[in-house]
Chain A
């Protein structure tokens, strides 16, 4: 207890001695913790809300039968009911409509169609309003819709309100028959959905005779897996029978690499924060040598000296952790939207309205973790300085004059070690993924940054500036530079850490920048080579918002002929895009007129000629497979792929593998004729139009709009997108995906800048006497400012140079190893010179700004006090 009191007493005095540095360090740790907490919270929350949505709506359901994008024939429900062991077998429809505000599309609305007569009391929701009337009458009306209470509040709707919805290409009017909420009154997914009777939903979504799911409740004594087998035995083989929770697992599996990448990126801030702590503690030790000597002289053991400094670091971590956790939770509210939007863009629809639903247990857990991370990171960063403090030689510390540490950084040895670590990074880069995750790739990244950090002290001292010989000298600027560089070189340990922090921040920034730009360049090339159609006619919700169900993504096949007859249209393709499961992977099956595509457009095939291969696919009933899917399933050109179709398992020859960047879920393409024969699906997702030579885009576009309006009066017009608009939309989605990356990078760079300020303030404090001397022999305030700025510039130059090398190598690791192993995309590497110049200029400017305030402060220090310093 007495020892704790001593620690508390000393810590309090230390923290208040240098309030600026204390605040600086705490802010640095807090930023690192906030990025990590935010990403972790957002990652957990997105999946958690998805899981909650699945489980809440599932209610007592233990098994689901689903047919993916095709839905199910409702006749199947009779077959399932024949299977023993189920207490309930209920039909369900899960579709997306779009709320219309004054005729304009607004927010998406998930509509769940249930057998309300049977399930009104068993699903887990209850009606808040509307209980006064006769619920049965309301249930039976075709336009009755029960709206979740949160949506009702947000949209200012109540029982009896009319609501305009867009379903596919149609505009329909529904009536709010009541407002629903969870039966237990708690916040739940029921608050943000709408439900209606199954029959009405079938009519509304054009799914008469069809269902999206059949929900089953097994009896209490029945083994669920056995019941599932029994159901599978009576159903067509392409249908899925699984537990509701397995949907969450699938999504988790699907977005695993994405989440891992984000998590690793969020740790960069912590890593850079660790450098900051090292710096602060190293300075604290240097500054308190005499104090440590006194502690040792009056009986404090070595381990307690180390403990004292570790406790101080832990306190920084604790305070930083508290502030960072709060910041992280606030940031997470924004990140949830970004993460769920990205996951919805790239993978599968997940709720975006979850931001306000963090429960208190989750928040406490996130805060606790953040504080723990803050303390751990700080203590790890403080290990070196604390050990150094414990080894203080008492006699020398108490003697007058400067304490010359006998433990100098072994610059050469460290550099050789660094080269060793870099070689290890190179070797790790060639290793494959572990369990589909590029663990060794991440390790290679860590080794790369660690190796370059070890080289940092050598780079600082290794530079020898010209000495003032008998040749004419470069004047006062030259000598200021010399003094600044010499001073920086005198402290390779501390400055090495600062330079490393800057290097890590910049390397990540440059590495990710090169990767993103290369990726974007590759996607642009891909778009330019493959998105050829002049106009695309698509459902109004295409490429927009998270959609559940296929109803909103269908266009009538009959439109094809009408579109083909429009003057100026040379050809119309029918493009169908549905999601199915192939060998446990969620895969997009794209069917289209491959001969037309061969003639007018192409796929970027890995080997051979696109036109020939597409024709070959038609001739031989073959498929072409995206690179990502080929890697994932381990198939190559010339091999066969077995796919479960509604007609049973079929083996398709893989005639080509093509590069595709639309989704990382994998894609396979087949001719529309083959697809229709097997899947009996006549719908279209979009119609790509090719114009005749000389046709005016805008004129044709107007004719298309007119034709479609006449074709089906009362329907809402679909999207009629020009080639340029489509390309832009794809790139917009791409840019949105990486927005999060930039936020995390910025945090790391800010922490690195705090490191520069920290180092320079330390440097100024240590050199007050030197600056005072310079002032005494004729140096002006401006010259002292220049001196500090030169030092900042020198550290900046070394950090930026290492950051460029690190960033270049990191981009190679990201493109060739981590991205390839995580997502399977082949990215053509480019060096974005302009963006690199911008990044370097930003880092240089930030370094000088970070140096400016310490420089100004240094120039204002009183000369006499500086000369008096021991």
Chain B
């Protein structure tokens, strides 16, 4: 589903260039759930941003669902995010003026869907994340956990093949965090969605099939999740 070949990303800091990601190669199969862990600044979020087309690599190749993305324009990435990719953020990033229902319907409407089916789908996904009773509340009226559920619903509303989750439990307490991770895992497995999860939380990482450890912009190890091996 996602294939990285010698992918690098360097940022200019004044006159110096800082490598955030260094020749990373990786192959994630369809339906796999991969977690990336490592210390702050190791390049986890950079990796996710590159896969989501939010940032451009300095070198290397990225294949998305079998398609090379090197020549992708800004518009191509927009289309990819509308159709293939869903993103969940640590800070939820719900649009404050819109209700839960409207937030979830937003990606569908951005790609031009209209009519009753949009509302039906948004309601359906909100039911999936157990937020069916809060559809007309705005983000400010929801708890952190509830907001993240809405954000997950939004990320899944357009039935993406790939879900990118950047510290989805970072702003939540441990109980809410566990609930959210279970939700992501169950929904992903049910829908056959490939998940790339970036996290600091070992608990969260345990939900993944594989856990990649990163350091200084490189992938240093790949271990099967305890959940998969039955150790946990």
Residues of chain A at the chain B interface (Cβ within 8 Å):
467-476, 478-479, 482-483, 485-487, 489-490, 769-770, 772-781, 783, 862-864, 867
Closest to B117 in A: A472
Contacts of B81 in A (CB 8 A): 775-778
Q: In the complex, what's the smallest C-beta–C-beta distance from A766 to chain B, in angstroms?
A: 11
B95 interface residue (CB < 8 Å to A):
yes
CB pairs A–B below 8 angstroms (20 shown): A467-B102, A468-B119, A473-B114, A476-B110, A479-B98, A479-B102, A486-B96, A770-B93, A774-B110, A776-B81, A776-B89, A777-B86, A777-B154, A778-B107, A779-B110, A780-B110, A781-B75, A864-B54, A864-B55, A867-B93
B 41-97 contacts with A by CB, 8 A: 49, 52, 54-55, 74-75, 78, 81-82, 86-87, 89, 93-97
| CB <8 Å contact, B118 and A867 | no
| CB <8 Å contact, B97 and A483 | yes
- Bound together, the chains give a CA A470 to CA B122 distance in angstroms of 10
Q: In the complex, what's the smallest C-beta–C-beta distance from B108 to chain A, in angstroms?
A: 9
Tell me the count of chain B residues lying within 8 A, CB to CB, of chain A.
38
Residue of B78, B102, B119 touching A470 (CB-CB under 8 A): B119
Q: A467-B99, A486-B98, A490-B96 are in contact. Are A472 and B115 (CB under 8 A)?
A: yes
- Bound together, the chains give a CA A714 to CA B101 distance in angstroms of 93
| CB <8 Å contact, A473 and B118 | yes
> Given known contacts A472-B114, A775-B81, A867-B54, what 9 new A-B pairs fall within 8 Å (CB)?
A468-B101, A472-B116, A473-B118, A774-B106, A776-B81, A777-B86, A777-B106, A779-B110, A780-B75
Q: In the complex, what's the smallest C-beta–C-beta distance from B37 to chain A, in angstroms?
A: 20
B111 interface residue (CB < 8 Å to A):
yes
Residue of B97, B113, B115 touching A482 (CB-CB under 8 A): B97
Contacts of A775 in B (CB 8 A): 54, 78, 81
B158 interface residue (CB < 8 Å to A):
yes
Contacts of B113 in A (CB 8 A): 475
| CB <8 Å contact, B119 and A776 | no
- Bound together, the chains give a CA A475 to CA B115 distance in angstroms of 7
Pairs A-B, 10 closest by C-beta atoms: A486-B97, A778-B82, A475-B114, A773-B93, A863-B54, A468-B102, A780-B78, A476-B109, A778-B81, A778-B110
Q: A467-B136, A472-B114 are in contact. Are A777 and B109 (CB under 8 A)?
A: no
- Bound together, the chains give a CA A777 to CA B96 distance in angstroms of 15
B155 interface residue (CB < 8 Å to A):
yes
B 132-187 contacts with A by CB, 8 A: 136, 154-155, 158
- Bound together, the chains give a CA A471 to CA B119 distance in angstroms of 8
- Bound together, the chains give a CA A776 to CA B86 distance in angstroms of 8
Q: Is the interface of A mostly helix, strand, loop or mixed?
A: helix
Residues of chain B at the chain A interface (Cβ within 8 Å):
49, 52, 54-55, 74-75, 78, 81-82, 86-87, 89, 93-99, 101-102, 105-107, 109-116, 118-119, 136, 154-155, 158
Residue of A470, A490, A777, A778 touching B97 (CB-CB under 8 A): A490
- Bound together, the chains give a CA A489 to CA B74 distance in angstroms of 31
| CB <8 Å contact, B154 and A863 | no
| CB <8 Å contact, A770 and B118 | no
Q: In the complex, what's the smallest C-beta–C-beta distance from B207 to chain A, in angstroms?
A: 22
Closest to A862 in B: B55
| CB <8 Å contact, A482 and B98 | yes
Q: In the complex, what's the smallest C-beta–C-beta distance from A489 to chain B, in angstroms?
A: 8
Closest to A475 in B: B114
Interface-centre pick from A472, A487, A781 (highest chain B CB count, 10 A)? A472
Contacts of A472 in B (CB 8 A): 114-116, 118-119
Q: A479-B102, A483-B95, A863-B54 are in contact. Are A777 and B87 (CB under 8 A)?
A: yes
| CB <8 Å contact, B101 and A778 | no
Contacts of A777 in B (CB 8 A): 81, 86-87, 106-107, 110, 154-155
| CB <8 Å contact, A487 and B54 | no
Residue of A770, A776, A781 touching B52 (CB-CB under 8 A): A776
- Bound together, the chains give a CA A864 to CA B94 distance in angstroms of 16
| CB <8 Å contact, A779 and B78 | yes
Contacts of B55 in A (CB 8 A): 862-864
Contacts of B78 in A (CB 8 A): 775, 778-781
Contacts of A469 in B (CB 8 A): 119, 136
Q: In the complex, what's the smallest C-beta–C-beta distance from B167 to chain A, in angstroms?
A: 12
Contacts of A470 in B (CB 8 A): 119
Closest to A473 in B: B118
| CB <8 Å contact, B115 and A776 | no
Residue of B74, B107, B109, B115 touching A781 (CB-CB under 8 A): B74
Q: In the complex, what's the smallest C-beta–C-beta distance from A851 to chain B, in angstroms?
A: 18
Q: In the complex, what's the smallest C-beta–C-beta distance from B114 to chain A, in angstroms?
A: 4
- Bound together, the chains give a CA A863 to CA B113 distance in angstroms of 24
Q: In the complex, what's the smallest C-beta–C-beta distance from A570 to chain B, in angstroms?
A: 76
Contacts of B101 in A (CB 8 A): 468
| CB <8 Å contact, A476 and B112 | yes
Q: In the complex, what's the smallest C-beta–C-beta distance from B26 to chain A, in angstroms?
A: 20
- Bound together, the chains give a CA A468 to CA B121 distance in angstroms of 13
| CB <8 Å contact, A864 and B109 | no
Contacts of A780 in B (CB 8 A): 75, 78, 110
Closest to A486 in B: B97
Closest to A781 in B: B74
- Bound together, the chains give a CA A281 to CA B83 distance in angstroms of 43
Contacts of B155 in A (CB 8 A): 777
Q: In the complex, what's the smallest C-beta–C-beta distance from A525 to chain B, in angstroms?
A: 53
Contacts of A478 in B (CB 8 A): 109
Contacts of B116 in A (CB 8 A): 472
- Bound together, the chains give a CA A863 to CA B89 distance in angstroms of 13
Closest to B54 in A: A863
